[in-house]
Chains A and B, each alone.
Chain A
Amino acid sequence: MNHPKRSVRSRLATATAIGAAAIMALTSCGGSGGQEAAQQEFTGEYTGPPVELSYWNGFTGGDGPFMKKMVKEFNAEHENITVKSNTMQWADFYQRLPAAVTAGEGPDVGVMHLDQLATNAARNVIVPVDDLAESLELTADDFSEEVWNAGVYKDARYGIPLDVHSLAMYYNTEHFKKAGIKEAPTDAESFEAALKKLEAAGYETPFWMPAKWPSHLMNLSLLWQNGGDPYNGDEAKATFDSEAGVKALEWQRSMVEKGYSPGDVAIDSQYVAFKNGKTSITWDGIWQINDLKASGLPFEAAPVPTIGSEDAVWANSHNFFLPRQASPDADKTNAAKVFIAWMSENSDEWAGAGMIPARESVRTSGVLDGTFQQPIAERIDTMRFLPAIPGIGAVQAETLEVAVGNAVLGKEEPKNALTEAAKKASTLMEENEAQFGN
């Protein structure tokens, strides 16, 4: 009874081999249906026939083993659901997912970053999950408001947050001890005082300023601290060239000019230098915690100091989503929802991956006690997320990231670099708005 269906699929597969291009044309023409998938009544548990779910994610780093463990536990607890993970680099993930979903070969459930939800929602790659949030009785109360609201695009919710992860300040405790620094610096003055002490103690370049990743995340954090906002979604305008942004970038460049950082810090070398004790402080994501732990370096993590006037730090969040299905299968959709619900409830385990569980009930249950990210988790209310604007990630990569890099390298004045980049970004945002509609 299943055979006719299967033969169509196998024929399709053969066709793919002959010409992927032709297939793309076929499927993309008829590819707008399927919103219904997530709209099925969700009962909270799955009692149907055994199903296998394909689950896509990008946990290739120190977080991978913990995700594997959680999936294994889920599979053990659910007899009729088997979750099969497919893990790939995030960069590949965001290229493959739209292609796969468009070709009708997408996964049944997956995890993506918060700032990608709007883009993929606008592209009709993922479907709303409002009913899931409702039936799980998930509300903003159990999450930080910023992260919960950032998952909404055009009045529909597209993601269930698993965690939040922000920038943090890592410092070498041995260096700090030698320099006589008792406490992690918390503002501009104490930060610079610490750098001076480190220099005096013989650590010539205590804080390396990268030109590439995560330099733009540092810039965003500082911009928010200065009271600015990088984008105005309502008017499709980039505003990262405001005074707040310029000041942020000038501070970044000043680290090089004052000699705290060498010039021309190449890709990743600030992190490698930190890991090898060649520099004393680095700002990087909390997802590096496990890697640093494994390196045996004497280090500690603290919140990013407030260089500007208010506490703020860039953050992102891993969110569960449901992809659009070419042929919706109610059983699979329900099973996927059970999976998301279980993962959300059992996210305490995820703290081991160096992340901060998004749910307050999990976060305050003691799972973070004694972890490196605990002091950072306490500042969850100061974490800021990119607004839900479709295509914003690509715009930022083409504009802000280039400008920050050029200014840190001293190739351009911060103000000029940002003004030009913002102009470009605004044009791109207008084009996006025309394409995705508003």
Chain B
Amino acid sequence: MKSTTEVGVLPKERAPQPRVKAGRSVREQGKATPWLFLAPYLVLFIGFVLLPIVFGAWISLHTWDYTMPVHPFVGLDNYIELMQPGSIAFENFWNSMKATGIFTLFSVPLLLTIPLAVALLMAKNFPGRNFFRAVYFAPYVLGVAVVAILWRYLLDSNIGLVNYYLGLLGLPDDIAWTTSTPAAWVALIGVTVWWTLGFNAVIYLAALQDIPAELYEAARMDGANGWNQFIHVTLPGLRPVLIFVTMITLIASANMFGQSYLMTQGGPGRETRTAIYQIAETGLRNFQMGSAAAMSYVLTLFLMVLSIILFWLFREKKESRK
């Protein structure tokens, strides 16, 4: 009872007390302190995450063009249109979801395994190790615009260096890397892997260094060879980090936009136009914020379901071991 009456006047009322008992005062002030420490972030979180989520849901129920004076309420029409085969929004949106799906399906496994291999290599002791670590991480510091435009020219089917060198090696030199599928997917996924593998590798590397050396020693004593050590020591030791890396990679892949926007412009046709591309195009270029917001929520729903499945998968393994 007492505490409820004091909520608003905490500092004033409690002020005299510290002088009596120092130890208690710390605990007493603790009630407001965490909130005060959280406040700066909380303001940002509410302003840029919570409010937009709620406001976005509100927008998705309207025909919302923010340059127009009226935003008619349309209920669930924006969502219904997305679910209605034959409508333009349906076709565009689900094609873009398919594009995002293809990209995610192929890029996530590659971005989980290749960086792990790189990290295992970089964890070894050899001359020039730091140099190679830097080499693998370097592309990650580049912006998406730099990466995409660089590769757009390298991969150009008629004047690009990639096809030129393929030709010198006697391989087909007329692959249309940016204007035909599936070559465009190979290009987009390849460039993304090249660009971001350094980030995942660094996280893996940090985790690898956290695995106690005694475990390896013990395993060796028990006669485990390199592969056994990897399966029974390295992988279990990486599990917590693996969940994190998988989630991060999955979300980053599902949010792919810049690469296809700049390298293929969604082409050929609309085939490499991803969901985020379609949402940006609908909402920011065509000013159909309502429809774009509805698309975002459908995409979010997909990502949430995927995340839950992932968490469940990782947890299942843990429990079955016990």
Contacts and interface: CB of A to CB of B under 8 A. Distances in A.
A409 B179 contact: yes
A392 to B, nearest CB: 12
Contact of B51 (A21, A32, A428): A21
B170 interface: no
Contacts of A102: 66-67
A130 interface: no
B88 A424 contact: yes
Contacts, number: 108
A267 interface: yes
Nearest to A394: B286
* A contacts with B: majority SS: helix
Given A19-B47, A124-B67, A273-B159, A266 B269 contact: no
Nearest to A24: B66
Interface residues of B, number: 38
Interface stretch (B115-123, B150-158, B250-258, B306-314): B150-158
B252 to A, nearest CB: 24
B284 interface: yes
A8 interface: no
B63 A99 contact: no
Interface stretch (A48-56, A257-265, A331-339, A370-378): A257-265
A411 B265 contact: no
Nearest to B64: A28
B66 A409 contact: no
B304 to A, nearest CB: 22
Given A212-B265, A264-B157, A266-B157, A99 B66 contact: yes
B268 A411 contact: yes
A96 to B, nearest CB: 10
Interface in A234-271: 262-267, 269
Contact of B63 (A17, A211, A435): A435
B269 A405 contact: yes
A17 B264 CA distance: 35
Interface in A397-438: 397-398, 402, 405-406, 409, 411, 424, 427-428, 435
B157 A406 contact: no
B55 A22 contact: yes
A273 B158 contact: yes
A418 to B, nearest CB: 13
A123 interface: yes
B179 A98 contact: no
B69 A31 contact: yes
A272 B159 contact: yes
A18 B152 CA distance: 39
Nearest to B183: A264
B167 interface: no
A435 B287 CA distance: 12
Contact of B270 (A28, A99, A267, A402): A402
Contacts of B67: 28, 98-99, 101-102, 123-125
B88 A427 contact: yes
* B contacts with A: majority SS: loop
A19 B267 contact: no
B71 A28 contact: yes
B76 interface: no
B178 interface: yes
Interface in A86-109: 94-95, 98-99, 101-102
A264 B176 contact: yes
A196 interface: no
B70 to A, nearest CB: 9
Contacts of B156: 266, 269, 272
B221 interface: no
A25 interface: yes
Contact of A95 (B47, B65, B285): B285
A398 B286 CA distance: 10
A19 B52 CA distance: 8
Interface of B: 43, 47-48, 51-52, 55, 63, 65-69, 71, 88, 92, 152-153, 155-159, 174, 176-180, 264-265, 267-270, 284-287
Given A17-B47, A211-B267, A435-B65, 12 more contacts: A18-B47, A211-B268, A264-B157, A264-B158, A264-B174, A266-B179, A267-B178, A276-B159, A391-B286, A398-B286, A405-B268, A409-B180
Q: Return the 3 tightest CB-CB contacts between A and B, nearest first.
A: A264-B176, A32-B69, A123-B67
Interface of A: 17-19, 21-22, 24-25, 28-29, 31-32, 94-95, 98-99, 101-102, 123-125, 208, 211-212, 262-267, 269, 272-273, 276, 278, 391, 394, 397-398, 402, 405-406, 409, 411, 424, 427-428, 435
26 contacts: A18-B47, A28-B66, A28-B71, A98-B66, A99-B67, A101-B67, A102-B67, A123-B68, A124-B67, A124-B69, A125-B67, A211-B267, A262-B158, A264-B176, A266-B156, A266-B176, A267-B152, A267-B178, A267-B264, A267-B267, A272-B159, A273-B158, A278-B159, A406-B268, A409-B179, A435-B63
